[in-house]
Amino acid sequence: KRDGTRQAFDRNKVINSMVRAFDKRQVDVADLDRITTEIEQSIQNTLEREVTTDRIGEMVLERIRPMDEVAYIRFASVYRRFQDVRSFISEINSFLDKK
């Protein structure tokens, strides 16, 4: 975790974080379950014993980006802990540059 403690991978936390990002957006929960399964399998396939929450967050962002722009920005705002409007605008500009 970000505070340095270790915790077992919890797929429910990953799914719940995506559900919050997709709040009032059209998304099939089966897609969120599939993404979580992909991330979980990817982690299990690595030779690393531990994976940071930062890496898990990036894996989520990679997968939800093509699904919904608003959900992507919502997830990024929490995951990257935007401190001010400039951070938010910077993320949106980065998103648009990669489009």
pLDDT of amino acid 82: 82
Residues 18 and 4 sit within 8 Å (Cβ to Cβ): no
Q: What would the pLDDT profile of 66-98 be if each residue is shown by its tens digit?
A: 999 999 999 998 888 888 888 888 888 888 888
Each residue's pLDDT tens digit, 15-26: 999 999 999 999
CA distances from 69 to 26, 35, 62, 99 (A): 12, 16, 12, 10
What is this structure's pTM? 0.83
Strand, coil or helix: 68: coil
Distance CA 64, CA 71 (A): 7
Q: How confident is the model at residue 1 (pLDDT cuts 50, 70, 90)?
A: low
Tens of pLDDT, residue by residue over 28-39, are: 999 999 999 999
Nearest 5°: phi and psi at 13? -65, -40
Task: Output the pLDDT for position 87.
Answer: 84
pLDDT at 48 over 90: no
Residue with tokens 């936390």: 13
The pLDDT of residue 60: 97
